[in-house]
Amino acid sequence: MTLALVAAAGVAHAQPAPPGGSLPIEPAPPIEPAPSVVEPPPPVVEPPPPVVEPAPPVEPAPPVEPAPPPPTVAPTRPLLAGRGAVFGLELGLGAALGGDGMFGAGTGKAFLVGYRVERWVFEFRFGESYDQAAQAARLAAAGARGPLSVTSGGFRRIFSGGRLSPELFVGGARLERPLLVDAKVVPQHGVGLALGGGVAIPIGPTVRWTVEARGYLARWDNPPGPASTAPVDDPGTGVTFTPTVEPDGGLPFTLTTGLKLVL
């Protein structure tokens, strides 16, 4: 098809029509075929049949990297900025250092509610009790145990830090600890100063894991009757004591760990 079109164009070029048509007509030279200026096309190469190759193994798409945050500062709330409520739940140990030594360390728990203004928290700790059993085995077997109970309120300062943020607590407390009076476990009440220190580890936007030790400088109010101290366990006669009307309450302290919801 391409060749035929080119040949027709060559004929028209060789016999142009004169304007006016008055020139003598000379015999036209024999028409020679115009030289072809078009090279014959190369032979059509049939495309090779498609070779079916096994599909390469599909590799999992690389994980989509989260887009980096824009360089501009997002209007998010900085950690511990603003103010809000605080709720907490703690488990731990409680004991009295020194004192009459009648009752040993006990395990227990505490709840707390508070209100935070930036890095200051006013908190109220309630339901805090640690079940202290008598240190003498026979007394403990007879169920001679009672709670070291603490109800406290005070201020907490959260210091800035890296993953560990130190905290200090100071406040007041009402305490209760067990005494053995006339073979019965009765409470000895006290009030005093609460001092604490610990660390908090953020484990979420609003949740902090805390570890804290607190000590209480208490003034005790003794119950009526002499309290049993210095037990001596005699298998034959029972357990004997040195009674006293001024039992030494010692220095109560607690070591707790827990979770705080900081809103």
Partner 1 sequence: MRAGGLAALVTLAALATGCGATVATTSGTALVAPGTSGGVTNTVRLYDRGGPVSRTILRTVAALGAASAAVDHVERTSTSYTAVECSGGSCAEVTYTTTTTTTYVDPAKAAAAAAAYQRFSDQIAATPYRDFPFETVLDIASRDLGGDTSGWNVWFWYHGSPRPVGAVGLALSAGLAGGHLHFHDRTRTTLAGTSAAVVPVTEQLTAEHAYVGTPVRVTMYLRGNLSLYVQPDLNWASTLGRLSGDEVVDANPWRLGARARLGRFELGAELVTDGMSVHARSLGAEVGLVY
Q: Which helix (H) or strand (E) holds 190?
A: strand 184-202
**From candidates 80, 121, 239, 262, binder to partner 1 by CB under 8 A:** 239
Pick the closer one to partner 1 by CB: 108 or 250. Answer: 108
For partner 1, what does the binding mask look like between residues 126 and 155, x meaning CB under 8 A? -x-x-x-x----xxxxxxxx-x--------
Burial track 120-138 (b if 16+ CB lie within 10 A, e otherwise): ebebebeebbbbbbbebee
Q: Which residue, 170 or 211, is less far from partner 1 as judged by CB?
A: 211
CB of 255 to partner 1, least distance (A): 13
Which of the ranges 44-52, 154-162, 187-195, 222-230 carries the binding residues for partner 1, by CB under 8 A?
222-230
CA distance 125 to 96: 19
Neighbour-count burial of 13, counting CB atoms closer than 10 A to its CB (0-12 exposed, 13-18 middle, 19+ buried): exposed
Helix (H, G, I), strand (E, B) or coil at 147: strand
User: In residues, how long is the chain?
Assistant: 263
Q: Does the footprint of partner 1 cover residue 226 (CB under 8 A)? A: yes
- Which residues are bridge partners to 117 per DSSP? 83, 120
Of 193 and 259, the one with the shorter C-beta distance to partner 1 is: 259
Calpha distance 90→209 (Å, rounded): 10
Copy the structure tokens of residue 115: 């209100």
Can you say whether the dihedral through the CA atoms of 13, 17, 19, 23 is positive or negative? positive
Give the C-alpha separation, 201 to 66, whole Å: 26
Q: Which stretch binds partner 1 (CB under 8 A): 16-24, 115-123, 152-160, 223-231?
A: 223-231
Place of tokens 């078009």: 38
CB 209 within 8 A of CB 201: yes
Residue nearer to partner 1 on the CB measure, 111 or 120 = 111
257 binds partner 1 (CB under 8 A): no
Residues 80-119 contacting partner 1, CB under 8 A: 89, 91, 106-109, 111
Site for partner 1 in 176-215 (CB under 8 A): 180-185, 203-204, 207
CB of 49 to partner 1, least distance (A): 52
Q: Does 228 bind partner 1 (CB under 8 A)?
A: yes
Q: How far is the CB of 178 from partner 1 (least distance, A)?
A: 11
Which residues sit at the interface with partner 1, rule CB under 8 A? 89, 91, 106-109, 111, 127, 129, 131, 133, 138-145, 147, 180-185, 203-204, 207, 225-228, 237-241, 243, 259
